[in-house]
Chain A
Amino acid sequence: MDKNTIIEVRHLQKFFGTNKVLNDINFSVNRGDVTCIIGSSGSGKSTLLRCINLFEQPTAGEIFVHGINIVNTKKPNEYRKKVGMVFQSFNLFNNMNVLKNCTIGPRTVLKVSKQEAEARAKKYLAMVGMAEYVNARPAQLSGGQKQRVAIARALAMEPEVLLFDEPTSALDPEMVGEVLSVMTSLAQKGLTMVVVTHEMGFARDIATKVVFMDAGIIEEEGTPQQIFTNPQKQRTREFLSRVL
């Protein structure tokens, strides 16, 4: 295995009851990759991300992280230190201000000192343009600001991979840009990202790899160039003609 490979998913299957939602998913995430997962609603994109960070228990298959299969790990929280997640609905902690939202992970999970945690939080809040808002509570922020704080909270854990599940889908159109520009700058800094998105512009311009999912399988994957300008599969072409 390539030593740059961080995560390798092999033959992943997921059933909800008798409903097969993921079928034989194989793909890998290499250091520095920006993988965009696209596909129509219900195709299993969120389920795949949630299996990768073990929010959902895969029904079959393996997920190797640096060569170790973590599917049956007893301590998923240990693994999640290294694989962060940004949600469509932000999920900031409502009982904490912006600074606390970003220090709580490093403090309680990584056990770093208070000063170190605050320094980190401020560094990443500055990176997302939210340094001035350390005292605000989530309820006092706009959607775009909340999502930028949520990204800073995930970054403060200094994860190896950051998963995004439709990070801009809950936002008003005028706020989508501010979140995408933060994500763009992270991609350019070399952060490894897996992004489920309906923002085709972002996938085309920023992704290093695009994965098209359809009905629980990876129908096609390739560079943005290959997928967007020269798709091989009929289903991919149909999907792209609908969304572009």
Chain B
Amino acid sequence: MDLFKNIGEIISKYYIWLLEGVGYTLLVSLISTIIGLIIGILIGIYRTLPAPKNKFLRVLKKIGDVILSVYIEVFRGTPMMVQAMVIFWGFALLNDGKTLNVIFSGMLIVSINTGAYMAEIVRGGIISVDKGQTEGAAAIGMTHFQTMMRVVLPQALRNIMPSVANEFVINIKDTSVLNVIGFTELFFQAKSIVSSNLLTFETYLLVAAIYFVLTFTITRILRLIEKKMDGDKNYVVLGSQNMDANAYAREKNIGGGKQNG
């Protein structure tokens, strides 16, 4: 059949282009997801800071909150393709037509965009951690910062892992919009291939298959990682016999049994 023959030919002729596209797509989506997550975590920490006692600092914090909301709303409320054009050409305008490095621009745009979504995801994750966890930490004298780093964020991050994985998969697909600034990710490569071989359908069918394989495998891998993070289902009880407090109390003769009156 012609279809398979043609696809086979595209692969054998353009595999270097395709591999380069896959490489850039994975690179920009992986790095941007990580940077976006870091942005989200920092914003999450900032937003859950206890209100400062000092009046001036309190106003400053409020201003920061407003700036962050504007950032989040604007980047969630406009298409990433438009953001890419505005940032890329905006930079050129401000620098006498000198454009920013395309690879750097691509990462910058996707990171900032992802950060806006991650901020909300992290916020949800932090809120989902039971307030008792914070009180438990406060009760042993931990500071707000220690509580965040040791108790709240680890649990929040575990809880939001599925959403973070989801953002990563979305980024793999959505980095295709970076073709508008000439970023040589997979979709851009497909366009280039089509312009030289004119096999539009076959080329995009092949590229669709590649995108699917990427997102499918990555979803599975991330699920495995999640499972690993949860640790063993069972634990080992040390020592041969299993003592409860009553048995312990009897053994040590320290008063015991039920105290109900």
Contact = CB atoms under 8 A, between A and B. Distances in A.
A89 B134 CA distance: 13
A134 B238 contact: yes
Interface in B113-127: none
Contacts of B242: 132
Interface stretch (A13-21, A58-66, A180-188): A180-188
Nearest to A93: B151
A135 B158 contact: no
A222 interface: no
Interface string B134-160: 011111111100100011001100100
Contact of B259 (A79, A108, A177): A177
Interface residues of B, number: 42
A109 B231 CA distance: 26
Interface string A153-168: 1100100000000000
Chain A's interface size range is 35 or more
B254 interface: yes
Nearest to A179: B245
A24 interface: no
Interface in B204-261: 231, 234-239, 242-249, 252, 254-261
A92 interface: yes
A95 to B, nearest CB: 5
A201 interface: yes
B142 A108 contact: yes
Given A95-B155, A132-B237, A144-B245, A188 B136 contact: no
A108 B261 contact: no
B133 A93 contact: yes
13 contacts: A89-B132, A91-B130, A93-B136, A108-B142, A144-B244, A144-B245, A154-B139, A180-B259, A181-B257, A185-B256, A199-B260, A201-B258, A204-B261
